[in-house]
């Protein structure tokens, strides 16, 4: 297939690009500037430079593809505008074709829940409350095979925003890392290469549709992750923080999502598409993998 990909040079998008190219697909990377175009081309994509919020240009770019994946995000208050624009363009370009469209989502929309499935109710914190109506619009299209890949905390190859935040945790007088909150909350995690493999599986399966939650099933506590991060950065250990400290460190909206207690087995992804995570856990990566410093 010829697959149009946004966010092709980002942490997740670059791994999806590599996964698709390695399995014989052609990738058209929709990028915003020359630097991103050069980076995407180096990874094996054909770059097309455009503004994704220019609906006419985006429709033309998507219309030439057999399928599309959307992972681009500015990571700020304009994120909802970008997602909405991309969904509008894809639905117009793919109308009546049955082509596959997949966009990345995030587990935080479910709020605190120890057993999250695709049927769990949404309890979106303020930071991500904009996601649900846009995703619903994409999934409601009758003549486009839309999927939302709900990612757990992505890590691997030394990258990822939240792994980086743990490695850069503040320290007490003895040099111990301070956890986010009391550290008892669980974070569902997934290696970015396993996540990329799932995106490919969704595109290649003619039956895939709707929400798919993706996580490795390990569901470590933040204390466990911070203790492992301490090994990676040569700190003596980790001590419990507090909600107040987390809010002071990250701000109220971001702290709210980091304090969520979430766990999932991602059973639907395993059962429906035969997906299996094959890479080391984040704790293992911290202790002996790509994050060791």
Tell me the pLDDT tens digit for each residue of 216-268.
999 999 999 999 999 999 999 999 999 999 999 999 999 999 999 999 999 99
In the three-class reduction of DSSP (H, G, I as helix; E, B as strand; rest coil), residue 266 is classed as: coil
CA distance 84 to 138: 9
Q: Residue 247 gets which letter from DSSP?
A: H
**Confidence band of 284 (pLDDT split at 50, 70, 90):** very high
Q: Which residue has tokens 């757990």?
A: 152
- Residue 79 is predicted with a pLDDT of 96
Q: Residue 259 gets which letter from DSSP?
A: T
CA distance 254 to 240: 19
**pTM confidence score:** 0.97
Report CA torsion sign: 165, 118, 285, 35.
negative
User: Is residue 28 within 8 Å of 37, Cβ to Cβ?
Assistant: no
Q: Could you give the C-alpha distances from 235 to 170, 176, 245, in angstroms and in order?
A: 11, 6, 20
72's CB contacts (< 8 A; 6+ apart) are: 6, 7, 10, 13, 30, 52, 82, 86
**Confidence band of 293 (pLDDT split at 50, 70, 90):** confident
């Amino acid at each position: 297939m010829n697959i149009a990909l946004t966010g092709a040079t980002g942490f997740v998008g670059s791994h999806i690009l590599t996964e698709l190219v390695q399995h014989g697909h052609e990738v058209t990377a929709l990028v915003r500037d020359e630097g991103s175009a050069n980076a995407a081309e180096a990874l094996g994509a054909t770059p097309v430079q455009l503004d994704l919020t220019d609906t006419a240009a985006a429709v033309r770019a998507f219309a030439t593809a057999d399928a599309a994946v959307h992972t681009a995000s500015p990571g700020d208050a304009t994120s909802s505008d970008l997602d909405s624009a991309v969904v509008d363009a894809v639905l117009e370009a793919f109308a009546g074709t049955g082509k596959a469209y997949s966009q990345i989502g995030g587990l935080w929309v479910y709020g605190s829940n120890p057993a999250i499935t695709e049927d769990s109710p949404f309890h979106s914190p303020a930071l991500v409350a904009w996601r649900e109506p846009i995703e619903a619009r994409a999934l409601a299209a009758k003549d486009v095979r839309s999927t939302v890949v709900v990612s757990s905390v992505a890590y691997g190859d030394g990258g990822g925003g939240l792994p980086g935040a743990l490695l850069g945790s503040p320290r007490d007088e003895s040099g111990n890392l301070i956890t986010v909150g009391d550290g008892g909350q669980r974070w569902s995690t997934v290696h970015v290469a396993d996540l990329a493999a799932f995106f490919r599986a969704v595109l290649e399966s003619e039956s895939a549709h709707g929400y798919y939650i993706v996580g490795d099933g390990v569901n470590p506590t933040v204390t466990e992750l911070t203790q492992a991060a301490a090994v990676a950065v040569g700190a003596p250990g980790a001590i419990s923080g507090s909600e107040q400290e987390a809010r002071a460190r990250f701000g109220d909206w971001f702290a709210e999502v980091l304090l969520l207690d979430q766990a999932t087995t991602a059973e639907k992804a395993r059962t429906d598409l035969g997906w299996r995570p094959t890479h080391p856990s984040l704790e293992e990566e911290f202790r002996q993998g790509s994050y060791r410093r």
